[in-house]
Amino acid sequence: MTATSNPKKKRHMTDECFAALKPLFQHHIDDLLKAPASVGGLPKQKGLYALSENGTYLYVGMTKNLRNRWQMHRYGDTSAASFAVKLARDSIEKKGGWEGRKYTPADGLKALRANKEFRDAFEAARERIRRMDMRFLEWGDGDDGDLAVLEIFAAHALKTPYNDFRTS
């Protein structure tokens, strides 16, 4: 027998979970929003970061090294610059698709790298990220599990469109 779940009940359950997490994590979000935007001099510390453009938060992430991760988003290749990959795919899909068809995750990064349209969009996305504001919170020796939950909470609280937490 296969277990199934009611999607409406899941949404309600998710809302209840985030409401329960708010007293534990909202002060971290408040601190993140108060932090000045950074472009350089980031610490080599574990932490949470948020990327925004024109006051709209687009993406949050967690990392063991804030400085290196910021570099990867702006200058890394497709395997290291996941946010740039998402922006590039989104940009191409908004223009009508991939040579007349829709991209699917089964196409993979190898297929993307072979596509000139994607390579151009990927470079434009990295350039766009270089102009974004980045705010961060150092997590120091804090628990990695708590940081992972904070990342999901932050994505929900800031309504970041590029954090989807989908499985493939």
Please tell me the pTM assigned to this model: 0.86
Span 7-32, pLDDT tens digits: 555 556 788 899 999 999 999 999 99
Beta-ladder partners of 45: none
- Digit-coded pLDDT (tens) for 38-80: 877 899 999 999 999 999 999 999 999 999 999 999 999 999 9
Label residue 154 exposed, middle or buried (CB < 10 Å: 0-12, 13-18, 19+).
buried
2 token code pair: 């296969």
Closest CA to 147 of 60, 72, 82: 60
Please answer whether residues 51 and 132 qualify as being in contact, where contact means their C-beta atoms are separated by less than 8 angstroms.
Answer: yes
